[in-house]
Structure 1
Amino acid sequence: MVFMPWTQALEVGIEEIDEQHRWLVDQTNSLHEALQGGASREQVGELLEGLMDYVMNHFIVEENLFSRLGYPEAEAHQAQHNLFSGQVMTLLARHESDEEVGADALELLKDWLVHHILKVDKAYVAHFRDHGLG
């Protein structure tokens, strides 16, 4: 059984964003599989670092769109990005300090992806479409 299945409910209808969100869901599932399969600390660390890098790049894409399209809620949305980035950095630091963070990472990722995509990201879709994107 897949830890976090991709569903149409997670789609925002903007191809570039949906592709990035799908990749994040896939990588969250890869982390789950690795943890279930007894992955080494190094493998878990690599997955966490890869997720962090990708999340940061995804946030840059979204924030550039906010700027380009004059999204009025950009500041609040970016604050959520910054909060999540800090939480992931804390998990990475804990992992590097030899703490077991796999379950915490999975919960954080799943909660973030579901809440953020279904509520926060979907809030910008109408604005983006009104400004010719999507």
Structure 2
Amino acid sequence: MSFMPWTDALAMGIQSIDNQHRWLVDATNRLHAEISKTAPERSVLGEILEGLVDYTMNHFVLEEELFERLGYPEMPAHKVEHDAFTASAMQLLLQFESGESVGPPVLDFLKEWLLHHILKVDRAYAPFLKAAGVS
């Protein structure tokens, strides 16, 4: 069983966003798998963390472009969430690059943030985007 299994509850019914969310969940599971090894490889951990940060930022840009184009009224509050996560993720990456280890607290942070963001924050915009024809 994976650390953070993908379930139908995480699906929003918007294919491009669901695909990106699934990638983020899979990357979190890859990070968990590497951390769980007896001797995790720092280079692999670094690649996964960098990929998570880069992919998350690209995902946020896609969401925010959709919000702006369609006039989503909650965009400012949603962007605050994105910016806070981006800052936290960058801080984790910088700490790792300065020699700190990556362990269960990082995984817990990623899992809790993703679940909260997908199930609560993103779920709130799904009806708006679907009504605008995004599928």
Following superposition of structure 1 onto structure 2, how do residues 1-134 of structure 1 map, counting pairs within 5 Å? 1-37=1-37, 38-134=39-135
CA contact (8 A) 2:35 2:102 kept: no
RMSD over aligned Cα atoms: 0.9
| Identity over aligned pairs, percent | 54
Q: Distance in 1 between matches of 2:8 and 2:73?
A: 26
CA contact (8 A) 2:64 2:79 kept: yes
Per-residue CA deviations over 1:85-105 (Å, capped at 9, x if unaligned) read 000011011111211123232
Amino acid in structure 2 at the alignment position of 1:56: M
- Structure 1 gap ranges (5+): none
Q: State the secondary structure of the residue aligned to 1:104.
A: helix
Following superposition, the deviation at residue 113 of structure 1 comes to: 0.9
Per-residue CA deviations over 1:27-66 (Å, capped at 9, x if unaligned) read 1000000111232112111110011000000001100100
Amino acid in structure 2 at the alignment position of 1:40: E
TM-score when scaled to structure 2? 0.95
TM-score when scaled to structure 1? 0.96
Q: Distance in 2 between matches of 1:77 and 1:70?
A: 13
